[in-house]
Chain A
Amino acid sequence: MSTADGKDIAILGVGMHPWGKWGRDFTEYGMVAARAALADANMQWKDIQYVAGADTIRNGYPGFIAGATFAQKLGWSGVRISSSYAACASGAQALDSARAQILAGFCDVALVIGADTTPKGFFAPVGGGDRKNDPDWQRFHVLGATNPVYFALFARRRMDMYGATSEDFARVKVKNSKHGLNNPNARFKKESTVEDVLNSPVVSDPLRLLDICATSDGAAAMVVCSMDFARKHLGTTEGLCRVKAVGTVTPVYPQSILELPDIASDSTAVVPAPSRKYKDSIAWSAYEQAGIGPEDLSLAEVYDLSTALELDWYEHIGLCAEGEAENLLRSGATTIGGKIPVNPSGGLACFGEAIPAQAISQVCELVWQLRGQAGDRQVEGAKVGITANQGLFGHGSSVIVAR
């Protein structure tokens, strides 16, 4: 390995199955994404040495063993596998698993894959029965605290602390719906106006139906490899997208912010809260690995589970100071054509969430943008991109890709 490559790995190919809501076997979607990623990489399945699957927990046993499920679907080849579950960060954790195998020299080239089929409506606890010690069961049974309840707590705090308005939240949807209009993989390709959002029914005050992301079916995959393998495969590494960082940190005690699915925060009575809050630390761990900062970014794909949470992410990933996100949005900086476009793919607003595929799809978008293949949603001259997301139970991820 050339020392100039550091701890980079190359992304040879990416592929997706469009997001939607069909209720079919999740492996059908996954196979489409896997074939697309292999074709994009100009590779054959038999050449893949490792499969890192991101798990779905809503599709029974095959979902819990995603690595093996897809290895079998593609045809048992003796390939080694892993299956990762990290809630919304599952796809990034699968990427991190493949990256560690490659950097350790245990394999040269790996397939990273995630696919999901989701039920309609609110996510409810998985598993059934009365599990009185499970915080996920407790929050639903005792409080009716759905996921949008937590999104709403953050939204309301922005309003009361920083003067954010429902119109500000709506403008995030307007921006993302415009971005996703020409994305062939997006589920919702319809431009929304501020009025559309404000006229949609309130789900968890202050958030309305169009402020909150849907649950979707979808799949994403990528082929990643060592820089040496890329050099042999392509004859050069010139112009290749490189994974510069995968941040997958957990919170530091005390986690003083109330996060999904907890009923209470940790206590700050004895140990003070860490100076860097959890969601900030996710991106900063990636910046530190990559040796870059927010000022180096060309674009960002962040987890807009709600419109207001996209605004929170502007601050968590360091695009602006706390309380300044509404101003950044209103300035147009985060729209394509602005200084730092956020969610040029259209984000979760246009995709809805297909949990194990989502973090991988964020990286796919970075790759298309950095290669200049993003068509009508292209961010001109994109060189460096970051993804950020967060899931239940102290999971989160941030991936930095540079070209």
Chain B
Amino acid sequence: MWKSTVEGRALHFRLAGINNQNFLMRDEETGSWWQQVSGQAIAGELRGQALELAPYDELSFGLWKLEAPAGQVLAPVARDASRYESNWEPKVEKLPTVIDFPRSGLQPREVVLGMEINGQSRAYPLAMVLAHAPVEDRLGGTPVVLVAGPDGKSVRAFRSQLDGADLELFHKSERGWALIDSATVSEWNFTGCATSGPSMGKCLQALPLLKDYWFDWRNYHPQSGIYRR
């Protein structure tokens, strides 16, 4: 998800090609070519420019509508709605890839959550995160935590630091879904905000995650490590 303004001009993108199974976009204004996953212009007048990331979440509709009851949902396009597939993921998983990193230990189509901080990048296999969240780590000198939502499928990442002090998050085992922190023993919700205790009202800084196939993440982050427990 990108902010589409470049040099003061709002660009409009169209699907226009594919590069090693990551799609290419073309902007209507200059006809320049952009790589979807990196937001970089790779050919044309704007070559060398990069789009600014628009912070976003990938989460279940159920969770999102609790957080944004007044929000708006993209309506299906009538003539194309029959082509939308709800169960495409298992099908895509079986498709071949044209690049692979066999010595990395991950299958090319393993779904990972990619994170990049201060030039350091790491891939967190989704299945591992869902099984073991909250996952604590340090990346680019920053303490981070990956949290799985109450739906068991949405993941968010936060900087696990509050007022300059590191904190650790744990699942509170009794009644429903909640996290507590080791420093102030406050309760935290999935938006990263404390809902009770001494930190009540405070929020952790959300960090961008990219849910991607391993081969694609690794292709654009050649230095990326893999988080292993």
Partners in one complex: no
A interface with B by C-beta (< 8 Å):
none
